[in-house]
Structure 1
Amino acid sequence: MTKDVLYLFLIGHVLGDFYLQSSELAINKNESFKILLKHSLIYFLSMICVSIPIFSFTILKWVCIISVVHFIVDLFKYLFKKKFATNDKIEALLYCSDEIIHILLIICTAIAIYILSEPVRYISCIQYLLSKLQINVINILSWILILLIIIQPFSITIKKVVYRYKPSTNEENGGLPNAGALIGMLERSIILLMLSAGQYAAIGFVLTAKSIARYNKIAEEPKFSEYYLLGTLLSTTLVIVAYLLIF
């Protein structure tokens, strides 16, 4: 059950910190304490919702602890940005540090539940369905988690990390709005499918196909080629690492 709890909490975190948090909310929570409280409440409700299959007072206690610590971490980030000026590099460091702390907190919570032998089980109706249908819950949770991660969180992470390397003269002339983000999502999805099927060599063809579309720009603009390569390698690395850690 420890792995079930861990994956459910991670899914709740991804939903609360990315999918249920609009771009406007993500920006304003660093400028308004009221918006920060709103985000924290949404995060808490997200954690509660994903915990329904294993809900108990024990789980509620740990959800409250995770949510409170999440708020404290975000509060420190809020106070830091209020006091100090930031640039793209600091923004990326703050973002990465923030997410690493949140994830480590959830991992430590799952370990604590295991060490303390806290009573955790699926509610009776869920348990009945699982036993009757012989469902592999861990496999389902693993796929839900990694699919959620490779779409929104990874897109934001890549943008935060490589944005400061983006050439100032780079204009997406003739390109479709937000096409790059969608291409990245499809690229990571295909790589994930190739990994799950054991077709590792096919990953190279995916990256080649992506490069062909930008061949002229890559050949003519060295700065753009480095920026493009950095984003592509980071995207691929994140998918592979996530797959190895989750599966």
Structure 2
Amino acid sequence: MAKVVLTLFLIGHALGDFYLQSSELAIGKDKSFKKLLKHGVIYLFSMMFVIIPVFSLKLLKWTVIISIAHFIVDLVNFFIKKKITIDDKLDALAYSLDQIIHILVIIFTAAIIYFLSEPISYTYCIQYILNRSQIDVMDIFSWMLILLIIIQPFSITIKKLLYRYKPTANNEEGGHLNAGALIGILERCIILLLLSVGQYSSIGFVLTAKSIARYNKIADDPKFSEYYLLGTLLSVMLVIIAYLLIF
């Protein structure tokens, strides 16, 4: 059950820190305490929502603790950004440290719950369904988690980490707005499916197809080709690491 709790906490984090946080709120919480508080409340409710399958008052206590710790980390980040001018390089570093701390807090909390042998069980409805079917709930939770993180969190992470390598010229000229981000999401989803069925060699065909569409740009613009290669390799690496860790 410890793995179930950890997975649910991570799902709650993905929902609260990415999907339920608009771009406006993400930017505004660094400048406005009111918006930071709003994000904290949304995050708390997202964490409370995901523990419904194993809900208990003791688990709710740990959920509140995680949410408070999340708010404190964001609050420290808020004051730092008030004092220091953050450029793109520092922004990527701050984002990385922020997410690492949040995830470590969740892992540490799940470990405490495990070592304290907190009584955790599925709610009556979930247990009833499990007793009458052969559904692997942990497998469902794992797929929910990995699908959530390879879409928006990975897209934002790649954008943050590689922003300073992005060529200044308008390399999307002639293409559709945000098409690159959508291509990246589809690429990661296809790679995930290939990993799940053991078709590792087929991943190369996906990357080849993606490269063909940008062949002229890659051949004519060295800076774009480097940025493209970094983005592709980072995207593939993140999917593989996530798959190995979750499954």
How far the C-alpha of 1:95 sits from its partner, in A, is: 0.5
Counterpart in the other structure of 1:91: 91
How far the C-alpha of 1:126 sits from its partner, in A, is: 1.3
How far the C-alpha of 1:125 sits from its partner, in A, is: 1.7
How far the C-alpha of 1:171 sits from its partner, in A, is: 3.1
Distance in 2 between the 1:73 and 1:191 partners? 33
How far the C-alpha of 1:23 sits from its partner, in A, is: 0.5
Moved more, 123-132 or 89-98: 123-132
1:131-155 CA deviation, whole Å, 9 max, x = no partner?
Answer: 1112111111110000001000000
Superposition CA RMSD, Å: 0.7
Distance in 2 between the 1:76 and 1:234 partners? 29
Q: Does 1:26 align with 2:30?
A: no
1:170 and 1:224 in contact (8 A); partners too? no
1:162 and 1:231 in contact (8 A); partners too? yes
Aligned residues between the structures: 247
1:18 and 1:153 in contact (8 A); partners too? yes
1:11 and 1:50 in contact (8 A); partners too? yes
2:16 and 2:46 in contact (8 A); partners too? yes
Q: Does 1:239 align with 2:235?
A: no
Aligned-partner residue type, residue 178 of structure 2: N
1:13 and 1:43 in contact (8 A); partners too? yes
SS of alignment partner, residue 200 of structure 2 = coil
2:47 and 2:63 in contact (8 A); partners too? yes
Distance in 1 between the 2:104 and 2:184 partners? 26
SS of alignment partner, residue 201 of structure 1 = helix
1:10 and 1:145 in contact (8 A); partners too? yes
How far the C-alpha of 1:13 sits from its partner, in A, is: 0.5
1:37-52 equivalent positions in 2, closer than 5 A:
37-52=37-52
1:47-196 equivalent positions in 2, closer than 5 A:
47-196=47-196
TM-score, normalising length: structure 2? 0.99
Distance in 2 between the 1:126 and 1:194 partners? 30
2:171 and 2:224 in contact (8 A); partners too? no
Structure 2 stretches lacking a partner, 5+ long: none
1:162-199 CA deviation, whole Å, 9 max, x = no partner?
Answer: 01101111331111011001000000000000100100
Distance in 2 between the 1:81 and 1:154 partners? 23
Structure 1 stretches lacking a partner, 5+ long: none
TM-score, normalising length: structure 1? 0.99
2:19 and 2:152 in contact (8 A); partners too? yes
Distance in 2 between the 1:178 and 1:170 partners? 13
1:13 and 1:47 in contact (8 A); partners too? yes
1:215-240 CA deviation, whole Å, 9 max, x = no partner?
Answer: 11111111110011000000000000
Aligned-partner residue type, residue 29 of structure 1: K
1:47 and 1:63 in contact (8 A); partners too? yes
